[in-house]
Structure 1
Amino acid sequence: MASVRERRRSDGTRSYAVLWRDPDTGRQTSLTYDDRNDAVVAQQLIEAAGGHAVEAARIADAVRHRGPTVDDVVTEHIDLLTSVGADTRSHYRRQLAAHISPVLGPHPVSSIGYRHIASWVRSMSARGYAPKTIANVHGLFSAAMSTAVRLGYRSDNPCARVELPKSQATHDEMTVLTQAEFALLLSHVPSHYQPLVLLLIATGLRWGEATALTAGDLDLSARPATVRVTKAWKRDENRRWYVGPPKTKRARRTVSLPDELVDVLLPLVATKAPDELLFTNTVGNQLSSSRFWTTTWTPALDAAAAPRRADGTEDPDAARLTKRPRVHDLRHTHASWMIAAGTDLFVLQRRLGHESIKTTTETYAHLLPDQQLAAAAAAGRAMSGIALGSEALRSSSSAQ
């Protein structure tokens, strides 16, 4: 749409004109630069912005005065963060390198407008990235642009009010098990790992929290017995594991334990020193989530889905698990069971360690049985007149 033309001035110097047509007026418009690289940058930005005059004016000024680039500002934003660990900071740098730098990175941060952001989001969607991935990357960029405003690099956040793609999935993102389904799955989990799986379903702890527990974190003599969550497995900037604080401030919490779980955990705790990991692999080391998935969880799912007799042949009469839950779905299942038992969402928020009640509500409100019954009753009252009308219509059809 835009082109760059080289021109020679009367004094022998060269200039570079960026030419394009304004889509609003249809008139040919131009910007002139002394440096070819500046003209090429302006050309790219004007094309991305659709050639509109308002964006073009800002782009012209930003390219001439340069200032920090998008790469500079996002990097500075990541470096200035005070509430994240080394693993999160490293993750943000990888997001910058993979998703932001190739498209927007070299451009002056003050030149970026709404249309650039919208086009960038569309391009990620066109490349097949999931809506959640796009939302995460956009969130990082938006936070960096807010930092740019605070530092005086620009006057506004161009990410504001950019609509992000929504998931087109037709299935639920969480898989919730019934008590019978969980019991079937548990029966196929090796006995060494059953106490861990039972703790996950009974407390809703995250994997990284549960596998970082030490024997001293449990108070099994209290009434009710409790587990204190103060740490979780993390990765450093080199992807090495270490034990650090849990996900958020709210994730530091005390969770009560049912008596049935206490009976399972007592023999295990009795064999551990207070500072020893409560749950380990079979040789006493840290439990790897990926290895647990491949060597323990997936085989248990497969066995529960296709139960076999002692001779190895498939048993067509045995109960089967038709769902394929993730380990994290034990947390969702715990929440579902708690809600079904009448637990208040504020209590559930604290138990799960959600930073905000909004997270709990948005994730689990659809499971509230009282609200579902009330909604069904209201829908029934609203439909009662339609049902009577349908009966009259059937009677009329029969008479004809």
Structure 2
Amino acid sequence: MASIERRARGDGTVAYRVVWRDPTQPGRQSLTFDDRRQAEQTVKLLDSNGQRLTLAVEVANAIRQGGPTVEDVVREHIELLNRVGEDTRTGYTLRARDHITPHIGALPVKALTWQQVTLWIRELQKKGLSHKSIANVHGLLSASMNTAVRLGYRAENPCAAVRLPRSQRAGDDMVVLEPEELDLILDNTVEHYRPFIITLVGTGMRFGEATALHVEDLSLDAHPPTMRVNKAWKRDGERQPYIGAPKSARSRRTISLSPDLAEMLREVTAGKRGTDLVFVNVAGRPIRNNTFWATHWTPAIDKSHNPVDADGQPDPDARRLTKRPRIHDLRHTHASWMLAEGMDMFTLSRRLGHETYATTDSRYSHLMPAQQLNAAEVAAAAMGRLRSRVPRDDAPRARE
């Protein structure tokens, strides 16, 4: 980080010396200013550009040209969006506030380069953001830069050629549970919430959809029994929760239920009115994601990892969970179980409410080993028809 050293001159005036370490140059670098504001601006430029003086000079030259900053353009882009709800707009605003503005928000949009975007992404990695979060923030910046191009603020999008980091975790972000592992979690969950968890894994619903489900959305006497997904919890501009439309048009769907799940929901909704929520917390109020995660889901996972006996002592012989699933992994688990039972990808896509089939395919195709085996067998059969044209070791060879 660059810093400012205040120095008194012999003639009584004060100088402000900016010192930093440029990773491309040996030793410490410094610049001296008579004006503290210029020194502070230089520190911001250096900190925003990886302590590289050459990049800071480029930005300084762009400042003299004027024009909107990155922060200005991101804000304008969000305001111009007309196909998103207030909850999405608020989410974008908070994302920009936390991850764009502190790093590159003050930079002139004309001066933003591929190199600066790459350095910014490295800073986000140092902050500990997951690769998915970085991709989301980069997507917001890139869309904002496309808007800047349309508005004539700059000629091209500097985010377009930036390569995003891959996950550094071993394995996959997705955690899929086996039935025995889910049973272990349910055993360590408060009984009141077990039907809620079973419904999540039995339908693949998103958390915000399941917690907004009303009794009148269930058709338990139909053949087969079904539930209509036509609403979800959202947050308004003040971050207050409200029930609104689901995530996208494809999210409006009807999900068929197994007889056992339908019977369980019949018991859960017994005595409730059609306008009542199907699932509520122990106090009868809506279930909130953060609260449920902290007070019920995480404790259940912890107990499943570290089982104890009747006396509360560690039980080395008890079954224990080795995975650490998120609540959203119940949706992934549902998808895995459906594919394992032979559901085709197109039907699964509609059941999950994905906007496109490609989303489902890219996310879950690796969970279809049987289909991969079938593909290999089909390829082998096709190649078998060419066997007469493929030389075999025992086939007679023409004399040379």
Quickly say closer, same or farther: Cα 1:373–1:50, change in 2 above 3 A. farther
Matches within 5 A, 1:182-331: 182-331=182-331
Rounded Cα–Cα distance in structure 1 between residues aligned with 2:85 and 2:216: 25
Structure 1 residue 230: Cα displacement: 0.9
C-alpha contact 2:49 2:119 (8 A) present in aligned 1: no
Which amino acid in 2 is paired with 1:198? I
The count of residues paired between Structure 1 and Structure 2 equals 342
Rounded Cα–Cα distance in structure 2 between residues aligned with 1:253 and 1:101: 38
RMSD: 3.2
Of the structure 1 ranges 282-291 and 367-376, higher mean CA displacement relative to structure 2 is found in 367-376
Rounded Cα–Cα distance in structure 1 between residues aligned with 2:53 and 2:379: 48
Quickly say closer, same or farther: Cα 1:244–1:325, change in 2 above 3 A. same
Rounded Cα–Cα distance in structure 1 between residues aligned with 2:270 and 2:346: 34
Structure 1 residue 134: Cα displacement: 2.0
**Aligned position for 2:333:** 333
Structure 1 residue 64: Cα displacement: 4.6
Structure 1 residue 224: Cα displacement: 0.9
Quickly say closer, same or farther: Cα 1:115–1:245, change in 2 above 3 A. same
C-alpha contact 1:50 1:115 (8 A) present in aligned 2: no
Rounded Cα–Cα distance in structure 2 between residues aligned with 1:96 and 1:180: 42
C-alpha contact 2:233 2:243 (8 A) present in aligned 1: yes
Rounded Cα–Cα distance in structure 2 between residues aligned with 1:178 and 1:164: 32
**Aligned position for 1:116:** 116
Matches within 5 A, 1:22-101: 44=45, 51=54, 60=61, 62-101=62-101
Quickly say closer, same or farther: Cα 1:51–1:322, change in 2 above 3 A. closer
Rounded Cα–Cα distance in structure 2 between residues aligned with 1:118 and 1:180: 44
Structure 1 residue 131: Cα displacement: 2.2
Task: State TM-score, norm by structure 2.
Answer: 0.76
**Aligned position for 1:364:** 364
Structure 1 residue 203: Cα displacement: 0.3
Q: Deviations over 1:91-138 (max 9, x none)?
A: 222222232223332333223222222232233334443322222211
Q: Any idea what SS the aligned residue of 1:132 has?
A: helix
Rounded Cα–Cα distance in structure 2 between residues aligned with 1:184 and 1:72: 50
Structure 1 residue 151: Cα displacement: 1.5
Structure 1 residue 260: Cα displacement: 0.8
**Aligned position for 1:107:** 107
The unaligned stretches of length 5 or more in structure 1 are 1-22, 24-35, 381-400
Q: Any idea what SS the aligned residue of 2:188 has?
A: coil
Rounded Cα–Cα distance in structure 1 between residues aligned with 2:74 and 2:307: 52
Structure 1 residue 248: Cα displacement: 1.8
**Aligned position for 1:137:** 137
Structure 1 residue 145: Cα displacement: 0.7
Rounded Cα–Cα distance in structure 2 between residues aligned with 1:306 and 1:66: 60
Rounded Cα–Cα distance in structure 2 between residues aligned with 1:72 and 1:309: 59
Identity, % of aligned pairs? 50
Structure 1 residue 312: Cα displacement: 4.0
Task: State TM-score, norm by structure 1.
Answer: 0.76
